[in-house]
Amino acid sequence: MIINDAVFGEIEYTYGWIKDINVEFCRKEVEIALIVKGEEDGKFDEGQYTAYNSLLQNWEQLQQVFLQAILDYYKQERQQLGYDIEFNENYPHIETIDQLLKRITLVGIVVPYGDIHEERDIGITFDCTWDTENGLGIRLLNEKVTEVGYQDVAI
């Protein structure tokens, strides 16, 4: 089923609401999946609209915030795995956001059900070179990074 939603635009239900969108990410236009949690009836929560609109309004500033959080997460993971001492080609030494950007690819924005958290809730998913199986995800509540981990933290 396809609907034309006032906020999400033309979106299709295939075991969930999904559509491809183009966004600017670090000065490059990329095509990603927009996934909106919802029932087949196409009725979304007001909180979902608010969270998505707030993300779009703050998108440019938020990128630097969550990229720094991802870099911090990567450094911590690398150290916990012992790759700061012993070389592992999947976990190279990364010190800057520019180096990080060569190792991650933005793949999706997830708008969860609006009644799960009281805050504006958004998930962002990435593919990453160091964990191709689990990927990388971040959770934003009220446009603040609250969790970084595998993609499932964003879903």
pLDDT the model gives residue 115: 74
Query: Long-range contacts: 100-105, Cβ < 8 Å, 24+?
Result: 100/67, 100/70, 100/71, 100/74, 101/26, 101/67, 103/128, 103/129, 103/130, 104/70, 104/128, 104/129, 104/136, 105/30
pLDDT the model gives residue 84: 85
Tens-place pLDDT, residues 22-60: 999 999 999 999 999 999 999 999 999 999 999 999 999
Residues of the chain with pLDDT under 70: none
pLDDT the model gives residue 15: 86
Residue with tokens 């600017």: 24
pLDDT the model gives residue 29: 98
pLDDT the model gives residue 105: 98
